[in-house]
Amino acid sequence: MQLADALARVRPASLKARLHAVLSCDVREKLQAIKVPVLYLQANRDRLIPVSVHADIKTQLHEMETCRYDAPHFLLQTKADAVAKDVLRLMSKVEVDKER
């Protein structure tokens, strides 16, 4: 799926809310507190999130796994099957505490 097709499927209000959330969010100082597996989904044709963001996050989350896709920013719209496969693969590695 191309970016234009992906954007056509997302309501303008949702796009606006997502953009606002990204631009107003900086949680870098909290990253080291994360104690669960992290999967970084990186689009190699992303024009919104610079490649440098990955390196910045990786300095805080040394055990972070990265999956790269030949796609624009909207991975869940353009590469949904591939992303779902990678998320399920990571989830299958996680041990569940059955006593909780």
The 10s digit of each residue's pLDDT in 39-52 is 999 999 998 888 89
Q: Where are the domains of the chain?
A: 3-93
Global confidence as pTM = 0.73
21-32 mean pLDDT: 86
Q: Is 62 exposed, middle or buried (0-12, 13-18, 19+ CB in 10 A)?
A: exposed
Class of domain 3-93: alpha beta
pLDDT score for 97: 59
Q: What Cα–Cα distance (Å) separates residue 32 from each residue in 11, 50, 57, 58, 62? A: 34, 21, 10, 10, 9
Contact 21, 35 (CB under 8 A): no
